[in-house]
Amino acid sequence: MIDGLKPYPAMKDSGVEWLGQVPEHWNVERADHHLSVTKKAVNLVDLPEQKVVHYSIPNVQQHGKGLVETSSSIESSKTVVDREILLVSKLNPRMGTVVLADRHPQLMTVASGEFVVMDPRKSVGKFMKYVYASEGVRLELSSRVESATKSHQRCSPADISKLPIPFPPLAEQSTIVRFLDHADQRIQRYIRAKEKLIALLEEQKQAIVHQAVTGRVDVRTGRPYPAYKDSGVEWLGRVPEHWDVRRLGQFGAFSKGAGGSKEDEQAEGVPCVRYGDLYTTHKFFIEQSRAYVSDARAVHYAPLQFGDVLFAASGETIEEIGKSAVNLMEGPARCGGDVILFRPKRKVEPRYLGYAAGSPSAIAQKAMMGRGFTVAHIYGQQLKRLAVALAPSEEQVTVVRFLDRVLGQMDASMLGAQQQISLIREYRTSLVAAAVTGKIDVRDAARMFSSVEECTRDAGALVAAVASA
């Protein structure tokens, strides 16, 4: 527990297994004793085209609110939101998709039929939102799932509306909400600071790679080289006088990947890289494959060699087109379709080429080559024109060693920040669950926000609290 947050002085058995003990003066009742289930349906296809505020499952999950959409683009009947109501998703209850919705002052407001709509007139709506989003409720509803597919679980409206939940007195519900809102504000501020740090480190990594593979800085001295020349390539600018500037087509050959579908994937076998892996899994290098295919299926895929550079042939944006990584896997390996392979014919340090092909100067060149609107494409004939600055062989090794070391240190810092974010989010989950089920008494802390400040202002104290909980 955080200092200053103690248990209630008197507790009683709730009679509900997942809830355990609750404060003696709290009631445990079915939700629908305090929240009335409502449904005022409207079929938008019967209305003239107009703008409405739509509380869909994706809108709530991604944005935490309803978004303005055109009524003609929304299929199926919806529930009208004409006052403050609680929306609890029937789908995938473990995710806790819950929102407190309210009517837009000018536009019709509607909610997906996948929400159970409850009017919290006899309770504090924000408190009910915290309750239904809490871990204990999510787990309990997940255990009551009545139908499930591979991608969706669904519980019944009755399980949601008739669930036994804790009800403190109304004034205490408001007090708990004030405390949790204040704590959440502090926690979110800490998370934003860590996310900003991660973003800045990522930008710095790209800048360091650019400086190293274009010779802006001699990594051996930390200073510029003594003499430079014009590269003849806008995105490379001036490069060290003794470096070579070559387009990929001048020192290697291109080919296309080939292969079957994702259904071929298995847990072991021949390593197989798909184009999507270049976006989600590999950064500069491919040192281990995410997936494998059988020996029998491997013959249908394009073979890889150590040092091959793989480019994604399509992507969602021009800026991301041609994401690349160099193959550093020893032994047989394959790649799937929508991948362009580059195989060097002259000796180049593979890791150096991996850094160069994924550097900001290369990304800018590939963006100029990409074509398309909905999906961007790039082709081997275009990538032949991709220019890289090649340091002498011994300097390539030095550059790689420098980047491996410096970027490795930065990656460790980013990982540490991501782990801290995860810990704080876990802490927030525990804090909400403890507050709304009466496991901690937050009344004094909420009355004197200085106590909450003391508990939440120091990120290190929060992380330590999680570790010792």
Summarize pLDDT for 75-133 with one digit per residue, the tens: 777 889 988 999 999 999 999 999 999 999 999 899 998 999 999 988 999 999 999 99
Decide: helix, strand or coil at residue 62: helix
Output the CA angle 351-357-362, nearest 5 degrees.
150
Residues 6+ apart with CB under 8 A from 168: 23, 25, 26, 127, 176, 438
Q: How far apart are CA 131 and CA 118, in angstroms?
A: 13
Summarize pLDDT for 260-313 with one digit per residue, the tens: 788 899 999 999 999 899 989 999 999 999 999 999 999 999 999 999 999 999
Greatest mean pLDDT range, 39-43, 56-60, 75-79: 56-60
Please compute the mean of the pLDDT values over residues 179-204 and round it to a whole number. Answer: 95
Q: Assess contact for 225 and 214: CB atoms under 8 A.
A: no
Q: Which amino acid is at 147?
A: S
Summarize pLDDT for 423-434 with one digit per residue, the tens: 999 999 999 999
Sketch out the chain's domains with CATH numbers. 1-26+168-243+391-469 (1.10.287.1120), 27-166 (3.90.220.20), 244-390 (3.90.220.20)
Q: How far apart are CA 279 and CA 159, in angstroms?
A: 40
DSSP type of residue 77 = E
Does the structure show a pLDDT above 90 at 4?
A: no
Q: How far apart are CA 282 and CA 6, in angstroms?
A: 47
CA nearest to 83, candidates 110, 69, 101, 95: 101
Supply 285's token pair.
Answer: 């290098």
Supply 386's token pair.
Answer: 């991709």
Does the structure show a pLDDT above 70 at 171?
A: yes
Please compute the mean of the pLDDT values over residues 50-79 and round it to a whole number. Answer: 88
Length of the chain: 469
DSSP type of residue 320 = G
Whole-number pLDDT of residue 87? 95
Q: Which amino acid is at 81?
A: V
Does the structure show a pLDDT above 70 at 32?
A: yes
Instruction: Provide the angle, in degrees to the nearest 10, between the axes of the packed helices 459-468 and 170-213.
Output: 110
Supply 421's token pair.
Answer: 């974010």
Does the structure show a pLDDT above 70 at 453?
A: no
Supply 384's token pair.
Answer: 């032949």
Summarize pLDDT for 349-396 with one digit per residue, the tens: 999 999 999 999 999 999 888 776 556 788 999 999 999 999 999 999
Decide: helix, strand or coil at residue 148: strand
- Give Cα 383 distance to the centre of its chain: 30
State the residue for tokens 């994706």.
58
Mean pLDDT of the chain: 89
Q: Assess contact for 21 and 13: CB atoms under 8 A.
A: yes
End-to-end alpha carbon distance in the chain: 6
Please compute the mean of the pLDDT values over residues 234-254 and round it to a whole number. Answer: 95
Q: How far apart are CA 81 and CA 108, in angstroms?
A: 8
DSSP H or E stretch at residue 423: helix 393-436
Q: Which amino acid is at 166?
A: P
Does residue 4 come out as left (phi exceeding 0), alpha (psi in the -120 to 50 range) or beta?
left
Q: How far apart are CA 96 and CA 137, in angstroms?
A: 8
